[in-house]
Amino acid sequence: MAIARQTVVRHLPGAAKKVEDVLDRLEAHYATFPGYMFGFRYQPTDDAGEMGRIALWRSLADADHAAQQTHTIALRAELNSLIHEKHIERVLEIRGKPQKLLGL
């Protein structure tokens, strides 16, 4: 079953650009693994100081395999040094049929 993995973070003061960079590098790294379908970094339209990433995976096993790699762990450690401790990590089951994915 396909899943989405979502991360929502709140950056430390002055660290927004560095967090964007790490999130982009993390997504580019994930894109090299089997089972990765697509992903991207996002930012709310308000000034809440949050940003995040979401990736769609063929299966939880594929996502877990990528998350357990040494380089992934290093990128996550770098990210954790730039954000507030309280952040959100979600694994979401994909249900229903995706619509118009090519229109992104």
Stronger pLDDT, 44 or 57, i.e. the higher one: 57
* pLDDT tens readout for residues 62-85: 999 999 999 999 999 999 999 998
Residues 6+ apart with CB under 8 A from 69: none
Q: How far apart are CA 38 and CA 54, in angstroms?
A: 9
Average pLDDT of the residues in 48-59: 91
Widest pairwise Cα distance in the chain: 40
Q: How many CB atoms lie within 10 A of CB 5?
A: 20
User: Cβ distance 37 to 58 under 8 Å?
Assistant: yes
Task: Return the bridge partners of 93, or none.
Answer: 3
Rounded mean pLDDT of 2-22?
A: 94
Domains located in the chain, CATH noted: 3-95 (3.30.70.100)
Better-predicted residue by pLDDT, 101 or 17: 17
Structure tokens at 36: 């990765």
